[in-house]
Amino acid sequence: MALLICASDRDTSRLAARVAAMAPGVNVRNWPDIGQPEDIDFAVLWRQPPGLLPRLTGLKAVSSLGAGVEHLVNDPDLPEHLPLGRLAGPKLASDMAAYLVAQVLWHWKGLDRFAGQQSERRWQPWTPRHTPTIGLLGYGHLGQACARAFQALDLPVTAWTRSGQSIDDTVVHSGASGLATLAAQADYLICLLPLTDQTRGILNQRLFTTMKPDSVLISVGRGPHLIEADLAPALEQRRPALAILDVFDQEPLPADHPFWQHPQIRITPHCSAITRSDEAAELIVESYHRVRKGLPPLGLVKRERGY
Ligand code: GLV
């Protein structure tokens, strides 16, 4: 029995060493040194190389190394009934909340204007007149943590989810009309959705026309949520007036991409919340122990729903 950690786009040797130190009896393998593939009963994967999954014939479960699972859900080599989990702990959620609060406050409190004023030695107090409403697309583990962070600042939060089921006091909308209602109310519309067939392209011209004038779009889920070609015309109409984008169709964003130069677009390089190796190691060990006991891995994904 062995646990495999594999991320084809980064070095996971320190993470694997951490997991091995935390779970002394566990045989930990770090890709590409996978040893006998049939020994591996649990694999934690991120951008798994094509052809890896069919070699892992002894798998009892797999987990995404991050919060997103679309690289696994869409992999035709992932056996249909194999339990699939994901790693999304409290630190990931608070990192995301910190990023979003920082972006919203920077904009709402008009902090960039003071940098310019300081360079001119100009004393010109300014404070926003309105309290903005935060609209969250997606209200899972990350969305709820972000809502709590905004609510702690007394900023009203509404959310939109697939089911519309309310989880706490936050108002939750669903469906196409719920989406339009939320977009019309939100000063900051934040996309935290998982990427599924239903959410791909959800940030599109139709949604933009329902957005509150002069609102801000913040996209931190996945690049393909946004129809990129629809954004510039929407910015011209100031619905939204600003887009803060952390995720893109193509990452890294190509140097000649027009978004880099657009005065109403702010870019961060997919770093709003990144799985930290200390938290990931703890979650991997816990998830592996669960699988060994015959329980589902942490963050069990409903395959038919896609997240
Ligand atoms: C990051 O994008 C993740 O899915 O964890």
The tally of domains found in the chain comes to: 2
Ligand 1 center from residue 296 Cα (angstroms): 21
Residue closest to 7 by CA, chosen among 275, 289, 271: 275
Q: Is residue 200 part of a domain?
A: yes
Using alpha carbons, list the distances in angstroms from residue 188 to 27, 172, 178, 202, 211: 46, 16, 16, 16, 10
Q: Is residue 179 part of a domain?
A: yes
Q: Is residue 306 part of a domain?
A: no
Q: Do 54 and 120 sit in the same domain of this protein?
A: no
Q: Can the peptide bond before residue 252 be classed as cis, meaning omega within 30 degrees of 0?
A: yes
Q: Do 126 and 211 sit in the same domain of this protein?
A: yes
Q: Do 98 and 206 sit in the same domain of this protein?
A: yes
The residue to mutate among 191, 193, 274, having the most atoms of ligand 1 within 8 angstroms of its beta carbon, is 274
Q: Do 156 and 77 sit in the same domain of this protein?
A: no
pLDDT reported for residue 206: 98
Q: Do 207 and 242 sit in the same domain of this protein?
A: yes
Q: Is residue 303 part of a domain?
A: no
- For the chain, the straight-line distance linking the first and the last C-alpha, in angstroms and rounded, comes to 27
Q: Do 184 and 119 sit in the same domain of this protein?
A: yes
Q: Is residue 218 part of a domain?
A: yes
Q: Which domain holds residue 170?
A: 90-267
pLDDT reported for residue 50: 94
CATH classification of the domain holding 253: 3.40.50.720
Q: Which residues of the chain have pLDDT under 50?
A: none
Q: Is residue 262 part of a domain?
A: yes
Q: Do 250 and 184 sit in the same domain of this protein?
A: yes
Extract the tokens encoding 168.
């706490």
Q: Do 187 and 281 sit in the same domain of this protein?
A: no
Ligand 1 center from residue 126 Cα (angstroms): 37
- Residue nearest atom 2 in ligand 1 by C-alpha distance: 68
What does the alpha-carbon distance between residue 150 and residue 218 come to, in Å, rounded to a whole number?
14
Q: Do 100 and 249 sit in the same domain of this protein?
A: yes
Ligand 1 center from residue 2 Cα (angstroms): 25
pLDDT reported for residue 234: 98
Q: Do 178 and 237 sit in the same domain of this protein?
A: yes
Q: Is 91 left (phi over 0), alpha (psi -120 to 50) or beta?
A: alpha
Ligand 1 center from residue 116 Cα (angstroms): 35
Q: Do 151 and 256 sit in the same domain of this protein?
A: yes
pLDDT reported for residue 166: 84
What does the alpha-carbon distance between residue 96 and residue 224 come to, in Å, rounded to a whole number?
19
Using alpha carbons, list the distances in angstroms from residue 6 to 40, 59, 110, 120, 234: 12, 14, 43, 52, 40
The residue to mutate among 9, 46, 275, 307, having the most atoms of ligand 1 within 8 angstroms of its beta carbon, is 275
pLDDT reported for residue 143: 97
What does the alpha-carbon distance between residue 264 and residue 167 come to, in Å, rounded to a whole number?
34
Over the stretch 159-206, which tens digit does the pLDDT of each residue have? Answer: 999 998 888 889 999 999 999 999 999 999 999 999 999 999 999 999
Q: Which atom of ligand 1 is nearest to the CA of 87?
A: 5
Catalytic positions are: 222, 270
Q: Which atom of ligand 1 is nearest to the CA of 88?
A: 5
CB 270: neighbour CB atoms within 10 A?
A: 17
pLDDT reported for residue 169: 87
Residues with CB under 6 A from ligand 1: 66-68, 275
Q: Is residue 304 part of a domain?
A: no
Q: Is 51 left (phi over 0), alpha (psi -120 to 50) or beta?
A: left
Q: Do 283 and 212 sit in the same domain of this protein?
A: no
* Overall pTM surpassing 0.85 (yes/no): yes
